[in-house]
Structure 1
Amino acid sequence: MIREIRQSLTLEYTLQTRTRSMVLAGLASAALFSQAVLATPASADSAVVSEQQQSSALRYWTPQRLAAAKDADAVAPTYHSSRAGSPADRPSRPYRQPAAFPEHGKKPASYAALQATSPQRWTGGGLISTTGGKVFFHNPKTNGDYACSGDAVNSGNKSVVATAGHCVVDPDGTAYQNWVFIPGYDHGNRPHGTFAATPLHWESQRIGDSDAAWDAAFVTVGQVNGTRLVDAVGGQGIGFDLAPAQYVYSFGYGGSAAEENGQQMNWCAGTDTFAGGHAGGGVWGIDCVQGGGSSGGPFLQGFTTANGSGIQIGSISIGVGNYEYHPYYGWEARAAYDAAQGS
């Protein structure tokens, strides 16, 4: 989620503003890492990661680099509130239900329904405590290492992570390198191992346009010790074209001091409100803001505190004022997800 919090919304940004590259300060302590840049045409919606690059990514993320990674923020948190539209009247049903909770997983605490208007540490256990995690990647354009959030979602190949587009690719089409997902990350611990990206997938509309409405991405990951991601940690359900304006929960690793500097998973909750965007989708959000580094964390509809599971309908993208927003999963996001589960 974007750390820059604006007091008022700009209705339209010029194309020049919306398409400028992400400019982030490189880490002074980050050493140069020799690896071929993933060649991705500007019109592409995916990037393949070779086996050699996957192995390199796993070696790259030492405890020191994990600790030094900066929270990923995207430039120009835009969405076009002047473009009227909301989700179309299409069948409202989840595409996939949550995957079974692993037997070895942490059991949820038993307490009443939760409320949150500011980020709090998630202590409820359940499925989200294993499917939620941190994303780490190297941006070749800035030679910097960065952190986002992500979530394991159920899929045909049981190997898909949902995250934000700006945690995967630059608007100019430059795919990020050394991309890994650490489910259940907590203060440097990797309880389920580190999963390296194989292909990276994003909405093709994102290239050349930093509008938050196109900020959905899905990454296929390899196995850890011969075990697929969902078999290891479970998977949240995922839905497309679901009925909007529902009560939702969001989860992420915000980087503020109040959120433990990205070392723990936090949560917010509220009723999803339409902010604007393209017809049939757009940008929705709740009255709660998590800090930079929470980008890519899941928005879950129909979330049950009894078992920590729900249906993912978006990923944290931007923060404006007192709200955090996500792109609505429509057919464009479905195409990226299908590509990821088919890889």
Structure 2
Amino acid sequence: MSRSRVALAVAVFGFLGAVPSTRAAPTADPADNMSSSTLASALDEARILAYWTPERMASAIPAVPPTTSGKAPISLKPVAPENVSRTVDGAEPRGGLAPLADIHTMSGKVFYTDGGQNYVCSGSTVYSNGRRVVFTAGHCVHGGGSGRNWFSNWAFVPNYHSGSPHGTWTSTSLWSKNGWTNNGDRAYDVGAAVMNDRNGTRIVDAVGGQGIKWGAPYGAYIYQFGYPAAPPFNGSQLLFCQGGTWNEGGFPSISCNMTGGASGGPWLESYGQNYWAYLYSVNSWMFWDSDPTMVNKWQGPYFSYDTAGSLYDAVKDL
């Protein structure tokens, strides 16, 4: 890819206004949802909040993006006509916080533990009936593939910048698709977390939430956000790339030089037209020529009902 096509990651300052495989299907439909309860009591929540000290957050390393191409067959389950494509609007925060809330507050860093190592990803709040949902990549909630586990100590920090004025939020459950949890297939590399309330307030009420759409055409112009933490970046700022996407083997693709740590960050369509925008995909995996510090392209899972839409429907009322 020509280096001239690479969109540079830019710091954000203020609000800016598959073809089915012939492989046999796995036992569980890859389009089905799975969940894992991560917190069972107030004691667990207190433990996780105490665990994520500033030092542990600063030393968490970037999540490892998936390496397996999209191979899981797309589900043949019938999809209701209204779900082939659908658009859900976002929402401003409640309680008079709008002047203090923008893309910073709806985007944030994800922290979790896997095998004794602390990792970092990115994510975004999404409006839902329950107003408790954060969307991210599947590989930011589960290891992907048979024998891998759901992650522990899962937390989301909106507007992270060596901490956050909106605090650390813990999850009550993590969700993804069988295509990711059983097969590690990046065609289904999308995840969601249902968040615990904080001081009696739901997360979307506190910081706002993006809209979401699925079944949209390829070729959208999007803003891609994340907290890249691998060199040459250090994970301290929310950065973005912008540009037109294209269809590459069924995956939305965009030129961008963000590195690891940006995984799970939102691709936002219609950004700047309203207070919120529409989640179009999430950062899944990246490409470089020879030097991993010189990333030139990212791809994300295509948001269909089988991927993002059914996942959203599974968590929207929680």
TM score, norm. by length of structure 2: 0.78
Q: Is 2:183 aligned against 1:209?
A: yes
In structure 2, give the amino acid aligned to 1:58: L
The C-alpha deviation readout for 1:19-74, integer Å capped at 9, x for no partner, is xxxxxxxxxxxxxxxxxxxxxxxx97110121243332112111111111111113
Match of 2:97 in 1: 104
Amino acid at match of 1:160: V
Number of aligned residue pairs: give it: 270
Change (3 A) 1:143 1:246: same
1:217 is displaced (CA, Å) by 0.7
- Residues 133 and 201 of structure 1: is their aligned pair in 2 closer, same or farther, counting only changes over 3 Å? same
Uncovered stretches (5+) of structure 2, i.e. residues with no partner: 1-22, 24-31, 289-295
Post-superposition offset of 1:211:
2.5
Q: Does 1:165 align with 2:138?
A: yes
Q: Are positions 1:262 and 2:235 aligned together?
A: yes
TM-score, structure 1 as length reference: 0.72
Name the counterpart of 1:114: none
Alignment correspondent of 2:225: 251
**CA-atom RMSD, angstroms?**
2.6
Question: Is the counterpart of residue 146 in structure 1 residue 119 in structure 2?
Answer: yes
Structure 1 residues 131, 248: closer, same or farther in 2, change over 3 A?
same
Could you tell me how far apart the structure 2 residues matched to 1:237 and 1:78 are? 28
Over residues 107-150 of structure 1, what are the superposed CA-to-partner deviations in whole Å (9 max), with x where a residue is unaligned? 6xxxxxxxxxxxxxxxxxx63121000000011xx310000000
Tell me what 1:5 maps to.
Answer: none
* 1:328 to 2:317 alignment: no
Of 103, 112, 122 in structure 2, the residue corresponding to residue 128 of structure 1 is: 103
Aligned counterpart, 2:9: none
Which one of the candidate residues 280, 285, 288 is aligned to 1:318? Answer: 285
1:95 is paired with a residue whose SS is strand
Structure 1 unaligned blocks of 5 or more: 1-14, 16-42, 108-125, 277-281
Q: Which residues of 2 match residues 27-66 of structure 1 at below 5 A?
A: 45-49=34-38, 50-51=40-41, 52-66=43-57
What's the offset of the Cα at 1:95? 3.0
Are the aligned partners of 2:269 and 2:280 in contact in 1 as well (CA < 8 Å)?
Answer: yes
**Aligned partner of residue 327 in structure 1, secondary structure:** coil
C-alpha separation in 2, matches of 1:159 and 1:93: 23
Distance 1:283 1:46 in 2: 25
- Give yes or no for contact 1:127–1:236 (8 Å, CA) kept in 2: no
Counterpart-to-counterpart distance in 2, 1:335 and 1:307: 25
Matched, 1:287 2:247: no
CA separation in 2, counterparts of 1:128 and 1:157?
A: 20
Please give the per-residue CA displacement for 1:151-182, whole angstroms capped at 9, x wherever unaligned. 00101100000000000001234100010000
Q: Do the aligned partners of residues 77 and 128 (structure 1) sit closer, same or farther apart at CA in structure 2, a change above 3 Å counting? A: farther
Whether the 8 Å contact between 2:92 and 2:98 is mirrored in structure 1 is: no
Q: Helix, strand or coil for the counterpart of 2:123?
A: strand
Quote the sequence identity (%).
33
Query: Which residue number corresponds to residue 236 of structure 1?
Result: 210
